[in-house]
Amino acid sequence: MPFIDNNLPVLLVIVPLLGGLLSVVLGTIFGSKRDLAWGWALLVSWATFALVIETLLDVVASPHGSVVYNLGSWPGPWGIEYVVDYLNAFVLLVVAGIGAATTLYARHSIPSEIPGDRLHVFYAVWLLAIAGLLGITVTGDTFNVYVLLEISSLTSYALIAMGKHRDRRALLAALRYLIIGSIGASFILLGIGYLLMLTGTLNMADMHAGLVALDNYKENRTVLVAFAFLLTGLSMKMALFPLHMWLPGAYTHAPSAVTAFLASTATKVGVYMAFRFMFTIFGHEYSFDVLPGQKVLLICAASAVIIPNMTAIRQTDVKRLLAFSSLGQIGYMVMGFALANEAGMTGAIVHLFNHAAMKGGMFMAVGAVIYRIGRAHTADFTGLGKRMPWTMAAFSVGGFGLVGFPLTAGFISKWYLLQGCVQAGYWPLVIVVLMGSLLAVMYFWKLFEQIWFTDAPEGAPEVSEAPPTMLIATWSLILTSIYFGVHASFTVGMAGKAASFLLEAGQ
């Protein structure tokens, strides 16, 4: 349909946005029916996913590798511009894909954690969160980034807080996230404000042109301040060590489906934003050569790989363990980007995708355990391999991916990341990456041993396998991660193009 084809970039924000609002309307008209609310959300999320795939194909088909859309037909500097290139098309794919899979997963999981009369509201907020994250990714306008960031953040706070029916601590975690997130958002707003002041535009590409046009922009204090505020704010959003403390609590206490969704998408979008700002607006020469931003980021990333992974080993709540492990994985992504060479960035971008698939699948598997047992302490996993074999098999395969075992997607990321480190000549980072793998072995191993090699203790609850929708969603992500671990040409090809695009853009 030409209408859809011509308006793709904006439709993939509008559809979940309106879909979310309609969810409330539907709930008011038809009353709270579990499958109605879920079915609607599923429809909208899969439609969005289809739109994203369409957009991706457009990008691949376009001669210069990007699609530009002017909102309201207002051209460039005045109107809001949506720009889709290889990089954000790839991130869009992650967000929409995970959104679709987790919505499928939510059917059984969410009603067990949230009272029936709130379901419509929940799915409304849920779709809004998807819209927000997609919007941030797709837009080429900095203020639009801020607005959509607020949408996605506010909805995330709400989604996490809904975990209170299972775990009262969700409220506190959400509040904490709200406070820190708001500080982060205001830092980002301040940064954008300074840039607007300097360049008189909100459009990213024009901002870059405007900055370069400033005769003394390399010494300009205002640019520096803008850079500092943006980077601090974004570090908070992507939970880069040491500004990560909001994340473990939020992920642990949120409803399972929410955790699976946010863990695979929200921080990735944060990473995307940070490097979009650094490469496209400031230019990597300014970010990395004029300012030693690279060193700071690499140090933060390396600490993120080591320290949270160590903390993960000692956790007794599996959700929290995975949350800490996510912090380490964010470290890998930031490291790859900050290496600013093609191999490293390819590794980082491909890891955005691979980690989303693996960790999303693992969080779903843990969610299934919570669905059956009511909680997910490490002790509850003892001998679970016999009672929930499919769920635990998915969890284990995902774990092998986290370790970076060959033929899983994690290996592909590790391979390119290592190559990036070697090419840049950062030997300590090579060791850090390998240490990260070994630490992952350590925390994953303990669980693996417990799941498969230990007999369930006396009086362990009799549990059956998770319901089919949960299993299908979990395995779809896990199989994706395996598929792209073996046939990585699609992901690596996309990521490679995105990397070279980003490196050239900032010249």
Partner 1 sequence: MSDHLHHGGPPPGEAPRWLDKPDNLKKLIRGFFGVCAITFLADIAFFFFHKHSTFQPAEWVKTAEEEHFHLTGLAENAESFFGFYSVYGLLGIILLVVLSVGLRKLVMKPEDFYSRDYNEPEEDAKQGEANHG
Partner 2 sequence: MDSYWMHPALPLLIGSLILPFLSQRLRQVALVVLPAFGLLNVIGLASTEAADITRHMDFAGYVLDVLRVDKLSLLFGYLFHIAALIGGIYSFHVKDRMQHFTGIAYAGAAVGAIFAGDLLTLFLFWELLAVTSVFLVWAGKGVEARKAGGRYLLAHISSGLLLLIGTVMMVSDTGELPTFGHMELDSAASWMIFLAFGIKIGFPIFHTWIVDAYPASTASGTLFLSAFTTKTAVYCMARGFAGEDMLIYIGAVMCLFPIFFAVIENDLRRVLSYSMINQIGFMVVGIGIGTTLSVNGAVAHAFADVIFKGLLFMSMGAVYLRVGSTKGTDLGGLYKSMPWTTGFCLVGAASISAVPLFSGFVTKSMIMFAAATYQPMDLTWLWFILLFASAGVLEHAGIKIPYFAFFAHDSGKRPKEAPLGMRVAMGISSVLCILIGCFPQTFYQLLPGDELGLAGEFKYSPYTLTHIVTQMQLLFFAAAAVFGMMLLKKYPAEVPSVNVDADVLWRKLLPGIWKKAIGPVFLASSAVEERLLGWVPAQAVRTFGHGLPRLAIFKEWPQGSIVVLITVMLSAYLGLQLFS
> What is the C-alpha to C-alpha distance for residues 243 and 221, in angstroms, rounded to an integer?
24
Residues ≥6 apart with Cβ < 8 Å to 267: 237, 238, 239, 247, 326, 330
Within residues 245-264, the interface with partner 2 by CB under 8 A covers 245-246, 248-249
- From the list 33, 34, 176, 377, which residue makes contact with partner 1 (rule: CB under 8 A)? 377
Binding map of partner 1 across residues 6-25, x = CB under 8 A, - = no contact: --------------------
- Tell how many helices (H) and how many strands (E) occur in the chain: 21, 2
Residue position matching structure tokens 């390119």? 416
DSSP secondary structure code for residue 83 in this structure:
E
313 binds partner 2 (CB under 8 A): yes
378 binds partner 1 (CB under 8 A): yes
> What is the C-alpha to C-alpha distance for residues 351 and 283, in angstroms, rounded to an integer?
23
Q: Which of 438, 439, 321, 457 is nearest to 383 (CA)?
A: 457
# residues near partner 2 by CB under 8 A: 66
Of 14-22, 134-142, 409-417, 458-466, the segment contacting partner 2 by CB under 8 A is 409-417
Of 174-182, 377-385, 421-429, 480-488, the segment contacting partner 1 by CB under 8 A is 377-385
Task: Write down the H helix ranges in 71-118.
Answer: 86-109
- Residue 272 main-chain phi, psi, to 5 deg: -60, -50
Cis peptide before 111 (omega within 30 of 0): no
Cβ count near 359 (within 10 Å): 25
Binding map of partner 2 across residues 121-160, x = CB under 8 A, - = no contact: ----------------------------------------
Residue 379 binding: pick among partner 2, partner 1, none (C-beta 5-8 Å cut-off by kind): partner 1
Q: Are strands 66-70 and 81-85 parallel, antiparallel or unpaired?
A: antiparallel
418 binds partner 2 (CB under 8 A): yes
- From the list 6, 28, 62, 316, which residue makes contact with partner 2 (rule: CB under 8 A)? 316
> What is the C-alpha to C-alpha distance for residues 321 and 402, in angstroms, rounded to an integer?
13
379 binds partner 1 (CB under 8 A): yes
Shortest Å distance, C-beta 420 to partner 2 = 9
For partner 2, the closer of residues 165 and 487 by Cβ is: 487
The residues that bridge with 67 in the sheet, in sequence order, are 84
For partner 2, the closer of residues 105 and 405 by Cβ is: 405
> How many residues are listed for the chain in this entry?
507
422 binds partner 2 (CB under 8 A): yes
- From the list 6, 28, 222, 316, which residue makes contact with partner 1 (rule: CB under 8 A)? 316
187 binds partner 2 (CB under 8 A): yes
| Dihedral of the alpha carbons of 484, 486, 488, 490, in degrees to the nearest 10 | -70
- From the list 9, 27, 293, 385, which residue makes contact with partner 2 (rule: CB under 8 A)? 293
> What is the C-alpha to C-alpha distance for residues 455 and 496, in angstroms, rounded to an integer?
46
For partner 1, the closer of residues 6 and 316 by Cβ is: 316
* 8 A C-beta contact, residue 95 and residue 130: yes
Residue 160 binding: pick among partner 2, partner 1, none (C-beta 5-8 Å cut-off by kind): none
* Greatest pairwise CA separation for the chain in angstroms: 74
Encoded tokens for 453: 């090699």
Residue 465 binding: pick among partner 1, partner 2, none (C-beta 5-8 Å cut-off by kind): none
453 binds partner 2 (CB under 8 A): yes
Give the containing element (helix H, strand E) for 397. Answer: helix 389-403
Residues ≥6 apart with Cβ < 8 Å to 25: none
For partner 2, the closer of residues 252 and 256 by Cβ is: 252
- Residue 311 main-chain phi, psi, to 5 deg: -60, -35
For partner 1, the closer of residues 279 and 443 by Cβ is: 443
Within residues 380-409, the interface with partner 1 by CB under 8 A covers 382
Radius of gyration of the chain (CA): 22
Residue 492 binding: pick among partner 2, partner 1, none (C-beta 5-8 Å cut-off by kind): partner 2
Of 273-281, 292-300, 378-386, 475-483, the segment contacting partner 1 by CB under 8 A is 378-386
- Chain residues in the site for partner 1 (CB under 8 A): 316-317, 377-379, 382
- Chain residues in the site for partner 2 (CB under 8 A): 172-173, 176, 179-180, 183, 187, 221, 224-225, 227-229, 231-232, 235-236, 242-243, 245-246, 248-249, 290-293, 296, 306-308, 310-311, 313-317, 320, 343, 405-407, 411-412, 415-416, 418-419, 422-423, 430, 434, 437-438, 441, 445, 449, 453, 486-489, 492-493, 496
